[in-house]
A and B are shown apart, each in its own frame.
Chain A
Amino acid sequence: MKRWLMACALGLLLNGGTQAAGFEARPATPAPELKAQDLTGATRTLADYRGKVVLLNFWASWCPPCLREMPSMERLRLEMTGRPLAIVALDSAETPEEVNAYLSKMKLGFPILLDPDGSNTRRWKVFALPTTFLLDAQGRVRYVLTGPTEWDEGEALQAIESLLAELPTQSKQREPKPLTPQ
């Protein structure tokens, strides 16, 4: 019965379903390897974000639910300025040209990584888009969400805040924002 339900849920998602399956808290387990190039060609790994809570989002430019949640991720980035949260969006199995075509219409301030051969997608066992992992500052997977959400509110924000709250007091405090010239 459980398998049938899983197959049902998967089928809906693979067919472009837009409903989030809900946040799934996971026992803290080390994250799989992430090794991908950003749009400048620099190689990025999870080590680049060590000491920060990481929101790792798997998406694609052809996926409407993925694009719908992007603005909320950008709002979250702005809201979290100075706090130890890294938002990273990994485009699954598309060319840089396809990704850039989308980014020319949608300005995002967080890093976009490329996975043209789908190797990271397979390593993280991502079967539906969007899928998002929340990692704690030790690089362990703590939450998984299959489907879109509004990242700057509700359950999503609570999950992120709960991981930030685990950090030592000094690092989770807001850094002073730079003064804006008048």
Chain B
Amino acid sequence: MRIFKFLLLSIWACSFAAQADIPDYRAFPAEGARLLLWVASERGRAEPELQAAQQLAERGMAVWSLDPVSAFFLPQLPSSMDSVPAQDLADWLRAAQAGGKRVVVYAVSRAAVPVLRAAALLQPVERQQLCVLLMYPNLYTVAAPLAAPDFLDVGRLSGLQVRVLQPRRSAATPWLPGLLDHLEKQGASTSQVILENLREGYWMRETPTEFEMAESRRMDAMLLRELNDWGCQ
């Protein structure tokens, strides 16, 4: 009988979870006026990212850390990010904005796709209040040698402020102007920062350089610096 009750309770809990609109995330509370929504890449959330989130919270910036492949039970592939329900993410953005803090979204690699799609679903006034920081965004549909690149249509982004952080040591760096053009055609206001002497995903490299290891440890400081320099209001 007890087992039967437990089963019923489990089914009820699972059905409730399945109906939830907001993905499961990890919160790092802080008293400051800013809230950073950290969306991990298709490779999942790495330990240095959690450490940086904790350090940011200690410095007064609240962080909600979302690992989409884990939250939505997806394989660790770039294409998985295209399957993340944009409406769920839009609800998450709204929930963050409802708290009254200044909300900045920080998305890594292909996570830019669901984040931008979610931003496109917001009302214009909600979108204008959002700042989006993209770390080496991958928005390609097709990028084959000798063929012009093709970007995903993520929807209208009018009023959205987007800043791209691009590690210099990346095959994508020469293509950054084209990516920014695409975002601007979608209506976003864009800017860029080149991160010198770093490669994509430098905090989770198998063979990082000494500089990359040091930068991994001070990711919190890098993000604070870039946010302050940007001044997205």
List residues of A whose CB falls within 8 A of some B CB. 3-8, 10-16, 26, 29, 32, 60, 62-64, 92-93, 118, 121-122, 124-129, 131, 133, 141, 144, 146
Contacts and interface: CB of A to CB of B under 8 A. Distances in A.
A146 B145 contact: yes
The interface residues of chain A, by DSSP majority, are classed as mixed
Contacts of B174: 92-93, 118, 121-122
Contacts of B152: 7
A7 B146 contact: no
B3 interface: no
B168 to A, nearest CB: 8
Chain A CB within 10 Å, residue with most, of B42, B171, B200: B171
B199 A10 contact: no
11 contacts: A4-B82, A5-B79, A7-B82, A11-B110, A12-B78, A14-B200, A16-B200, A118-B174, A125-B148, A127-B140, A127-B175
Contacts of B147: 125
B79 A4 contact: yes
Chain B CB within 10 Å, residue with most, of A3, A5, A127: A127
B142 interface: yes
Given A26-B146, A63-B171, A141-B146, 13 more contacts: A6-B140, A6-B141, A6-B142, A6-B143, A7-B78, A12-B77, A12-B78, A15-B201, A93-B174, A122-B174, A125-B147, A127-B144, A127-B175
Contacts of A26: 146
